[in-house]
Amino acid sequence: FSATGSQVLFDGFDKWGLYTFVGKLRFKFRNASDAFKYVESSGTVTDGNWHHVLAVNDQTNLKIYIDGVLSNSNADGSVGIVGVTDVRIGARWNNSLYTNGNIDEVAIWNNDQSSNISTIYNSGTPSNLSSLSPLAWWRFEEGSGTTAIDSGTGGNNGTLINGVAYSTDVPT
Alpha-carbon gap, residue 114 to 127, rounded angstroms: 15
Model confidence pLDDT, tens digit, residues 34-87:
888 999 999 998 888 889 999 998 989 999 999 999 999 999 888 765 656 678
Residue 55 pLDDT: 93
* CA 145 to each of CA 9, 21, 50, 88: distance values in angstroms, whole numbers, following the listed order: 21, 31, 24, 18
Chain-centre distance for alpha carbon 18: 6
Model confidence pLDDT, tens digit, residues 85-124:
678 888 887 877 888 778 899 998 988 999 999 999 998 8
Model confidence pLDDT, tens digit, residues 120-145:
999 888 889 999 999 999 999 888 88
Residue 79 pLDDT: 72
H or E element that contains 148: strand 147-148
Residue 30 pLDDT: 83
Alpha-carbon gap, residue 88 to 97, rounded angstroms: 11
Alpha-carbon gap, residue 165 to 114, rounded angstroms: 31
Contact, 100 vs 67, CB < 8 A?
A: no
Residue 36 pLDDT: 87
Q: Is the pLDDT of residue 1 over 60?
A: no
> What does pTM read for this prediction?
0.88
Residue 82 pLDDT: 60
Residue 114 pLDDT: 95
